[in-house]
């Protein structure tokens, strides 16, 4: 019996995506692969809403985050991380691992990044090379107002680059990379993009490419410059995950067929439906500014959230995410992005509501 995946990555795969992964494998230095690779990059530009060059990485999303750090920064550079949850903290950890000391602006978990708080921090810390945000912080279920945040960065520190982790947001929640002035937009294949885990992408502006040329942190496998040099040949510098490229190509074909605005709309409708259903159960949302990609739900006081999730997985084969770090056991997170359907969400909601009664055996 199959599992129902309601997790914020990996998400379920469309049947046609499974199918292409069963086809004969291509060699990566062939014209046939080149066509597929170019298609993926072109369609990623469509989903990103950008004219910038997009590079593809054979890593999970965190590899894309690390690639932004090593390709844009030098020892001693100043960077600001606007944290709204566990994934903002990850940017801070990566920078510290490379010997940097980022300025951290912290929001209470569940709140979105406050543009006024950002403005104050930008005024107090001149000379920043870059500022990072999450598009959607999957740990808390918030969506950040990237349009407003990016505008504040460009206004107060025009030389600073805007770097966005849209690993869970892209392909589910509205993102306008170029119109919003986002210099680097990072994503991964296994969430809104409806492909298996293992590929990541970065859309990089000309300003960011300039910074990339002179950045002095050590880098080799994640060096965007070698990736960009291979683009005219429709190749990657090293062996790409060719099977995943085929899968991603098919998933992107489906997104184009539906239209990205329709994908956003469908995701927003399923999110509204989920939030209403949760309220009907008498539960409250964790996020003050809830995203459309997933719904984070506060569990009743005294309820063992870790056990709840284990029970639902064992008894119903439904995979629901719990809380991360200090939220472990206190919230559950029901994803509704990508190929997750209303029937899947209904199964998850039913599993949750039937276990809210203390008498449940
Ligand atoms: C999933 C996710 C990541 C990275 O996760 P990987 O497990 O490395 O793919 C980073 N940021 C956000 C917001 C995410 O949701």
Instruction: For residue range 60-74, list pLDDT tens digits in order.
Output: 999 999 999 999 999
Average pLDDT over residues 297-309: 95
Clarify whether residues 252 and 264 are in a common domain: no
pLDDT band at 148 (very low <50, low <70, confident <90, very high): very high
Average pLDDT over residues 148-170: 98
Clarify whether residues 20 and 147 are in a common domain: yes
Clarify whether residues 35 and 58 are in a common domain: yes
Residue with tokens 């989903």: 47
- pLDDT attached to residue 358: 57
Clarify whether residues 222 and 317 are in a common domain: no
Clarify whether residues 246 and 264 are in a common domain: no
Predicted confidence (pLDDT) per residue in 204-246, tens digit: 999 999 999 999 999 999 999 999 999 999 999 999 999 999 9
Domain count, the chain: 2
Clarify whether residues 224 and 272 are in a common domain: no
CA of 30 relative to ligand 1 center, distance in Å: 31
Q: Which residue's alpha carbon is nearest to atom 12 within ligand 1?
A: 167
Using the 3D structure, point to which of 257, 289, 322 is the last residue of a domain: 257
11 lines ligand 1 (CB under 6 A): no
Q: What percentage of the chain carries pLDDT values higher than 70?
A: 98
Residue 103 has pLDDT above 90, yes or no: yes
60 lines ligand 1 (CB under 6 A): yes
326, 315, 68, 320: which is closest to 183 by C-alpha? 68
CA of 62 relative to ligand 1 center, distance in Å: 6
CA of 272 relative to ligand 1 center, distance in Å: 23
Using the 3D structure, point to which of 257, 278, 295 is the last residue of a domain: 257
Lowest mean pLDDT among 55-59, 93-97, 284-288, 357-361: 357-361
Q: Any idea what the CATH number is for the domain that residue 353 is in?
A: 3.90.1150.10
Q: Which residue's alpha carbon is nearest to atom 2 within ligand 1?
A: 167
- pLDDT attached to residue 361: 44
Q: Which residue's alpha carbon is nearest to atom 9 within ligand 1?
A: 61
Clarify whether residues 223 and 274 are in a common domain: no
Mean pLDDT over each residue of the chain, to the nearest integer? 97
Q: Name the more confident of 361 and 349.
A: 349
Average pLDDT over residues 272-293: 97
Clarify whether residues 137 and 35 are in a common domain: yes
CA of 282 relative to ligand 1 center, distance in Å: 30
Clarify whether residues 86 and 158 are in a common domain: yes
The model carries a pTM of 0.97
Q: Any idea what the CATH number is for the domain that residue 226 is in?
A: 3.40.640.10
Using the 3D structure, point to which of 237, 257, 277 is the last residue of a domain: 257
Average pLDDT over residues 255-269: 98
Mutate to test the pocket of ligand 1, among 7, 61, 88, 134 (most ligand atoms within 8 A of CB): 61
Average pLDDT over residues 259-283: 97
Range of the domain at 346: 4-9+259-360
Clarify whether residues 151 and 281 are in a common domain: no
pLDDT band at 360 (very low <50, low <70, confident <90, very high): very low
Residue with tokens 């739900």: 297
- Rounded to the nearest 5°, which phi and psi values hold at 186? -105, 145
188 lines ligand 1 (CB under 6 A): yes
CA of 59 relative to ligand 1 center, distance in Å: 11
């Amino acid at each position: 019996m199959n599992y129902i995946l309601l997790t914020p990555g990996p998400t379920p795969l469309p049947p046609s995506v499974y199918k292409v992964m069963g086809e004969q494998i291509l060699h990566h230095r062939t014209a046939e692969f080149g066509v597929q690779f170019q298609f993926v990059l072109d369609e990623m530009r469509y989903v990103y809403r950008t004219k910038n060059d997009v590079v593809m990485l054979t890593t999970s999303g965190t590899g894309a985050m690390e690639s932004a750090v090593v390709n844009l920064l030098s020892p001693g550079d100043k960077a600001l991380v606007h944290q709204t949850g566990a994934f903002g903290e990850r940017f801070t950890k990566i920078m510290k691992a490379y010997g940097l000391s980022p300025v951290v602006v912290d929001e209470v978990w569940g709140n979105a990044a406050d543009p006024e708080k950002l403005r104050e921090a930008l005024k107090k810390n001149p000379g920043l090379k870059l500022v990072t945000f999450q598009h959607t912080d999957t740990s808390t279920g918030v969506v950040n107002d990237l349009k407003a945040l990016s505008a504040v960065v460009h206004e107060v520190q025009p030389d600073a680059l805007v770097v966005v982790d849209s690993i869970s947001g892209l392909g589910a929640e509205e993102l306008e990379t170029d119109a919003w002035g986002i210099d680097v937009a990072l994503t991964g294949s296994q969430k809104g993009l409806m492909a298996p885990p293992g590929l990541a992408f970065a859309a990089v502006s000309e300003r960011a490419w300039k910074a990339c040329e002179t950045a002095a942190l050590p880098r080799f496998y994640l060096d965007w410059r070698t990736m960009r040099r291979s683009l005219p040949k429709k190749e990657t510098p090293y062996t790409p995950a060719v099977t995943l490229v085929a899968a991603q190509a098919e998933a992107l074909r489906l997104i184009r067929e539906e239209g990205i605005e329709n994908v956003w709309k469908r995701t927003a409708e399923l999110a509204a439906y989920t939030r209403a259903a949760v309220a009907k159960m008498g539960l409250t949302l964790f996020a003050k500014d809830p995203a459309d990609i997933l719904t984070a739900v506060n569990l009743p006081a005294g309820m063992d959230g870790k056990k709840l999730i284990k029970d639902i997985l064992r008894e119903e084969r439904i995979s629901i995410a719990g809380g991360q770090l200090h939220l472990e056991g206190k919230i559950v997170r029901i994803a509704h992005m990508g190929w997750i359907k209303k029937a899947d969400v209904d199964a998850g909601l039913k599993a949750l509501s039937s276990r809210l009664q203390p008498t449940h055996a």
